[in-house]
Amino acid sequence: MGNEQVSEAFFMKKLTDAKVHFERALDCKHTEFDDLYPYMIEHPQFFWYKRYVAWSELLTIVKLCDELGYEWNNQFTPHQVSYVRNRVMSSKVLDYWFETNDLKKHVEQ
């Protein structure tokens, strides 16, 4: 990669990808993390760690969007925005990320 300018569209795509990755991790669905660490499936802490990695990725992209002045809130529900702004992945985030089953459609991709 040279001195190319990175566009807002690029960051919005990365944000969408990170959100889908986190939602798939929440639902214990396959992610690229599974491919990187296939031996982890055998360990009980795997799913917690997988969620933590996906959450960290999502927060990193959001932080970059904030720093660049890109609007990221419109890809989330109001309560999800609140969770992301608080930055702490708690049991509340894990239990209440999805408001309705319709939001899970992204996970099925």
Between the CA atoms of 48, 52, 58 and 62, what dihedral angle is there, to the nearest 10 degrees? 140
CB contact at 8 A, 84 and 76: yes
Instruction: Report how far apart, in Å, the C-alpha atoms of 108 and of each of 10, 25, 28 are.
Output: 23, 12, 11
- Residue 58, pLDDT score: 97
Q: Which pLDDT score is estimated for 63?
A: 97
At residue 3 the predicted structure's pLDDT band, cuts being 50, 70 and 90, is low
Asked whether the whole model's pTM tops 0.85, one would answer: no
- Per the CB < 8 A criterion, the answer to whether 94 and 51 are in contact is yes
pLDDT in tens, 17-76: 999 999 999 888 878 777 777 777 777 677 788 889 999 999 999 999 999 999 999 999
C-alpha to C-alpha distance for 84 and 48, rounded to whole angstroms: 18
- Which structure tokens are listed for 25? 């991790």
